[in-house]
Amino acid sequence: MITSQLLKLVVISLFVILGLLIGTLVFVNYRLRDSKYQEQRKYIAMLPKKKKNQKWFIFASKMYPYMRKIPVVKTILARIRKRFLILHAGDERIVRSQSASVTLIISSTIVVLTIVSFIWTNSWSMRLSIFLVAVYIGSFLSDMFIAREEKKLLHGLSELCLDIRHEYHQTYMVGKSIEQAAERSKTVVANHARKINGVLNAIDTNEELRLYYDVAPNRYLKLLAGISHNIAEYGDTNVHEGEKSLYLQALGNIREEIHLDITRRNRLDNLLAGIVFIALSPVFMLEPIKNWAESQFPIVSDFYNSAFGLYTLIGLYLIYIGCFFGLRVIKGMDGDSQTVKEEGEFLRQLLRIKWIHKIVERFVPAERESSHFRTMRQIREASSKLTLSQFYLQKLLFALVIFTSVIVVQFYIHATIKHNMMYPNIKIVTGGNQPSSQVYIAEQKYYFEANILQELRKKELPEDLVVAYINEQLEQQSFMPRQAEREKLAEEIGAKFQKYNQEYYRWYELLIAFAVALSAYRIPNLLLMIRRQMRRWEMQNEVDGYNSIVMMLSKIERISVFEMIDWLHRYSYIFESQLLRCLLEYEAGAWQALERLKDECNFVPLERIVDRLQVAAELIPIKDAFDDMEQERVFAMDQRKLHYEIMVSRKSTLGKLIGFLPLQATFVMYLLVPFGYLAFVQLGELNVVTNTM
Residues constituting the chain: 693
Separation between Cα atoms, residue 84 and residue 217, nearest integer Å: 9
Higher pLDDT, 15 or 306: 306
Per-residue pLDDT tens over the stretch 543-581: 877 877 787 777 777 778 888 888 888 777 778 878 888
Q: What is the mean pLDDT of residues 621-630?
A: 72
Compute the average pLDDT of residues 435-451: 67
How far apart (Å, rounded) are the C-alpha atoms in residues 212 and 222? 8
Q: DSSP readout, 536-602?
A: HHHHHHHHHHHHHHHHHHTT-TT--HHHHHHHHHHH-SSSHHHHHHHHHHTTT-HHHHHHHHHHHH-
Neighbours of 560 (CB within 10 A): 14
- CA 124 to CA 117: how far, in whole Å? 9
Determine how many CB atoms are found less than 10 A away from the CB of residue 530: 14
DSSP 171: H
pLDDT at 1: 46
Are 574 and 538 contacting, i.e. CB atoms less than 8 angstroms apart?
Answer: yes
Is the pLDDT at 27 greater than 80? The verdict is no
Angle at 386 between CA 384 and CA 390, to 5 degrees: 150
Tell me which of 493 and 349 has the higher pLDDT.
349
Ranges 325-334, 454-463, 485-494, 568-577, most confident = 568-577
Segment 196-216, tens digit of pLDDT: 888 888 888 888 888 888 788
Mean predicted lDDT score pLDDT of the chain: 78
Measured between its terminal Cα atoms, the distance across the chain in Å is 90
Enter the DSSP assignment of 300. Answer: G
What's the pLDDT at 394? 87
